[in-house]
Amino acid sequence: MTADKLTNLAKEQHGVAAQQSSARRSGGPVKRFGPFGRFVLVTVGLVLCFSGPLYHLVRVAANSQLYSHILLIPFISMYLVWLKRQRLPRHSEPVRRLAALPLVAGAVVLVGYWFAVRSASTLAKEDSLALTTFSFLLFFIGVCCLFLGKETLRAIAFPIGFLVFMVPFPAFLRDWIDVFLQHTSAAAAYAMFKLSGTPVFRQELGFHLPGFSMEVGPECSGIHSSLVLFITSLLAGHLFLRTPWKRAVLALAVIPLAILRNGFRIFTIGQLCVHIGPEMIHSNIHRRGGPLFFVLSLVPFFLLLIVLWRSDRVREKTNPKQLGV
């Protein structure tokens, strides 16, 4: 490059810098924020718009055993995105037409919530929080589609989808899960009593044992520990497994594990009441023994995870292209 060309290039750069400085002084249009900066600003605005419902959600989660996990979900999602920061595409053009569906769906849910509040029928607190939180989540997905590129969205699809666990169960869904776990756990406990040779007579959720009777109540469904285990299975599958069907197997295995865990807990309490005394129904193993049985259910869960993880590693060595390595 000649000296004249270097001089001309220096003049052009100086001119551009002078124009930018002049634009700043005159209030002219200067791009201060890139796509990510605009994404952050719009997200902050969205959070402010939903600040009331989100504040109530935090209060409910802080005082509820069932929804205590909600407080951790956003931080887990952000951590998962942070783990992928080195692999995120540097330049990814957003496909803004993808934002239409979640934005329209979010508006429909919000309008439905407004009509439900205005109607004569009362709306349960869980239903209210479920509608407003789900609407917020749909709007957030729409904002992601507006400002983040298609390749970026594909790379962080799991952390974004993971935010669905911020949404509380609607009352009807929570009740259905409770009833399902109650009846299936009672059936599992009945099978254990039969296998152990303990005389037992079952009437739906009630058990008549020698010198003692008990009933499986809603608090015995183990819905919270089952939900936590399901969330753990999704995270473990995302972090450690590469084959989609193996991730599905790990997640679906939570259902029989939850049923067997609850059944074993009912069986254990029944045996204690029969062999020690009926007062064991009021013991700590009944009232506060949930975490102990949850830890026991983690043993077969992690054994299954290890088996699936090792099979993935073997498959990766034999056929790395099939796993996208």
Q: What would the pLDDT profile of 185-240 be if each residue is shown by its tens digit? A: 999 999 999 999 888 898 888 888 888 888 888 777 889 999 999 999 999 999 99
Check residues 258 and 318 and name the one with the higher pLDDT: 258
Range of weakest confidence among 48-57, 168-177, 288-297? 288-297
Task: Establish if 20 belongs to a structural domain.
Answer: no
* Confidence band, pLDDT 50/70/90 cuts, at residue 28: very low
The verdict on residue 94 lying in a domain is yes
pLDDT score at 72: 95
Same domain, residue pair 180 and 317:
yes
Which tens digits make up the pLDDT trace of 69-85? 999 999 999 999 999 88
Residue pair 145/95 in contact (Cβ under 8 Å)? The answer is yes
- The verdict on residue 10 lying in a domain is no
Enumerate residues 6+ apart whose C-beta is below 8 A from 216. Answer: 182, 185, 186, 189, 205, 206, 207, 266
Question: Is residue 7 in some structural domain?
Answer: no
- Are 205 and 282 in a shared domain? yes
Most confident of 24-38, 111-125, 211-225, 301-315: 301-315
Q: What is the pLDDT of residue 10?
A: 46
Last residue of a domain, one of 110, 145, 168: 168
Asked if residue 18 belongs to a domain, the reply is: no
Question: What's the domain range around 138?
Answer: 35-168
Q: What is the pLDDT of residue 319?
A: 65
CB of 98 closer than 8 Å to CB of 145: yes
- Same structural domain, 184 and 83: no
Q: Does 139 or 38 have the greater pLDDT score?
A: 139
Instruction: Please report where in the chains the tokens 């020690």 appear, as a residue.
Output: 276
Is residue 4 in a domain? no
User: What is the per-residue pLDDT across 158-189, written as a single tens digit (0 to 9) for each?
Assistant: 999 999 999 999 999 999 999 999 999 999 99
pTM over cut 0.85: no
Residues 158 and 227 in one domain: no
Domain boundary among 146, 168, 190: 168
What per-residue confidence (pLDDT) applies to 322? 52
Same domain, yes or no: 230 and 158: no
Given this model, what pLDDT does residue 8 score?
52
Please provide the average confidence, as pLDDT, over all residues in the chain: 84
Q: Are residues 306 and 255 in the same domain?
A: yes
What confidence score (pLDDT) does residue 274 get? Answer: 86
On whether both 186 and 304 belong to a single domain, the answer is yes
One domain, residues 72 and 147: yes
Residues 138 and 162 in one domain: yes
Exposed, middle or buried: residue 103 (CB in 10 Å: 0-12, 13-18, 19+)?
middle
* Main-chain phi, psi angles of 243, to 5 degrees: -85, 125
- Residue where a domain stops, chosen among 145, 168, 191: 168
Do 242 and 142 have their domain in common? no
Q: How far apart are CA 65 and CA 8, in angstroms?
A: 70
The answer to whether the beta carbons of residues 165 and 70 sit under 8 Å apart is yes
Q: Do the domain assignments include residue 28?
A: no
For tokens 């993971």, what's the residue?
Answer: 162
Same domain membership, residue 318 and residue 231: yes
Q: At residue 223, what is the residue type?
A: I
Q: How many domains does the chain have?
A: 2
Statement to judge: residues 157 and 180 lie in one domain? no
Tell me: the pLDDT tens digits for 29-46?
444 556 778 888 999 999
Does residue 23 form part of some domain?
no
